[in-house]
């Protein structure tokens, strides 16, 4: 267990190929953790699909109030299947993360950690900025995004960012020792 803790630490010193491989595999752990969180979100959306669709329709109705009937009809057509489309994309993203996590585990490389470090850091920054600019988590809590999902999501994204950074350090170290 100590080796995994050391591998997950983005500031630890990497000595040898085995430690570098273990650190590079932290990006796989981050992808699987993110996929697990995505699966939780997928399940939550499945159980609340009707409520989400109703909330989306109400939001569109409020935003198109006072506009022409044509504009309102166009906006309603855009969200008619919005929740189902979001569900499909969420499932695809979970599947891609699982596959890329497996690939990074079996063939550690630097490209997957670079891409997902950038994506997770961007997600973390935009989430925090969104909460700060909205006035706090209580403002963010809606039918489509309850406060518990926001808080746990921030923790997962922050942890994944650190694990992808550790994975990148391990992958770069593997490149040095191989070349």
Asked, for residue 52, whether it belongs to a domain, the answer is yes
Backbone angles phi, psi at 13, to 5 degrees: -80, 130
Q: How many structural domains does the chain have? A: 1
- In-domain check, residue 49: yes
Give the long-range contacts of residues 144-147, CB within 8 A, separation 24 or more: 144/52, 144/55, 144/56
Q: Which residue has the tokens 């935009």?
A: 126
Residue 165 in domain: yes
Q: Domain range for residue 65? A: 16-178
77: Cβ contacts below 8 Å, ≥ 6 apart: none
What DSSP letter does each residue of 28-69 carry, written as one string?
Answer: HHHHHHHHHHHHHHHHHHHHTHHHHHHHHHHHHHHHTTTS-H
| Residue 2 belongs to some domain of the structure | no
Report pLDDT for 68.
Answer: 80
On whether residue 6 sits in a domain, the answer given is: no
Is 3 inside any structural domain?
A: no
Specify the pLDDT at position 137. Answer: 61
User: Is 160 in contact with 30 (CB distance < 8 Å)?
Assistant: yes
- Asked whether residue 5 is assigned to any structural domain, the reply reads no
Q: Is residue 126 part of a domain?
A: yes
Q: pLDDT tens digits for the chain (179 residues)?
A: 458 788 888 888 888 898 999 999 999 999 999 999 999 999 988 898 888 788 777 777 787 788 787 877 777 777 767 778 888 999 999 999 999 999 999 999 999 999 999 999 999 999 888 888 877 665 545 666 778 888 899 999 999 999 999 999 999 999 888 76
Would you say how long the chain is, in residues?
Answer: 179
């Amino acid at each position: 267990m100590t080796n995994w803790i050391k591998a997950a630490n983005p500031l630890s010193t990497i000595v040898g190929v085995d430690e570098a491989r273990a650190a590079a595999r932290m990006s796989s752990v981050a992808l699987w953790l993110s996929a697990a969180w995505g699966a939780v979100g997928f399940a939550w959306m499945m159980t609340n699909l009707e409520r989400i669709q109703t909330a989306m329709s109400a939001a569109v109705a409020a935003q198109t109030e006072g506009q022409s009937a044509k504009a309102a009809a166009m906006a309603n057509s855009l969200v008619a299947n919005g929740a189902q489309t979001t569900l499909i994309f969420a499932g695809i993203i979970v599947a891609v993360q699982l596959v890329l996590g497996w690939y990074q585990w079996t063939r550690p490389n630097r490209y997957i950690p670079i891409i997902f470090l950038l994506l997770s850091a961007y997600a973390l920054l935009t989430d925090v900025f969104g909460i700060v600019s909205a006035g706090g988590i209580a403002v963010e809590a809606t039918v489509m995004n309850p406060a518990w999902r926001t808080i746990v999501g921030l923790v997962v994204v922050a942890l994944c960012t650190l694990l992808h950074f550790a994975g990148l350090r391990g992958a770069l170290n593997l490149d040095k020792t191989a070349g």
